Structure 1
Amino acid sequence: MTRTTLTNMCMIYDKENNKVLVLDRIKSWKGISFPGGKVEDGESLIDSTIREIKEETGLTISNLEACGIIYLYNDETGEKYFVFNYRTEDFSGTLLDRTDEGRIFWVDTEELPKLNFAEGMKERLPMFLEKQYSEGFGIWNEQGSSQFKWQ
Structure 2
Amino acid sequence: MSKVTLTNMCMIYDRKNHKVLVQERVQSWKGISFPGGHVEDGESLIDSTIREVKEETGLTVSNLEPCGVIYWFNDETGEKYFVFNYRTEVFSGELIHTTHEGNNFWVDIEDLANLNFSPGMEERLAMFLQKEYSEGFGVWNEYRPGQMKFQ
Q: TM-score, normalised by structure 1?
A: 0.99
What residue identity is the alignment partner of 2:80? K
Asked whether 1:18 is paired with 2:18, we answer: yes
Runs of at least 4 residues off by over 2 Å: none
SS of residue matched to 2:122: helix
* Structure 2 partner of 1:103: 103
How far 1:145 moved relative to its partner?
2.2
Cα distance between partner residues in 2 of 1:143 and 1:23? 29
Residue type of the alignment partner of 2:22: V
The 2-side partners of 1:78 and 1:63 are apart by: 34
Number of equivalenced pairs: 151
Q: Would the aligned equivalents of 1:138 and 1:145 in 2 still touch at CA under 8 Å?
A: no
Provide, for residues 110-144 of structure 1, a one-character-per-residue CA deviation record: whole Å limited to 9, x for no partner: 11111000000000000000000000000111123
What RMSD over aligned residues (CA atoms) do the two structures have, in Å?
0.6
For the residue of structure 2 that corresponds to 1:111, the secondary structure is helix
Give unpaired runs (5+ residues) of structure 1. Answer: none
Task: Give 1:146's aligned residue.
Answer: 146
CA apart distance, 1:25: 0.3
Shift of residue 148, structure 1, vs aligned partner: 1.2
2:57 partner letter: T
The residue aligned with 1:55 is 55
1:45-87: CA deviation from partner (whole Å, max 9, x where unpaired): 0000000000000000000000000000001110000000000
Q: Whole-Å Cα distance in 1 between the matches of residues 112 and 79 of structure 2?
A: 31
The unaligned stretches of length 5 or more in structure 2 are none
Separation (CA, whole Å) in 1 of partners of 2:109 and 2:136: 22
Q: In structure 1, the residue corresponding to 2:23 is in which secondary structure?
A: strand
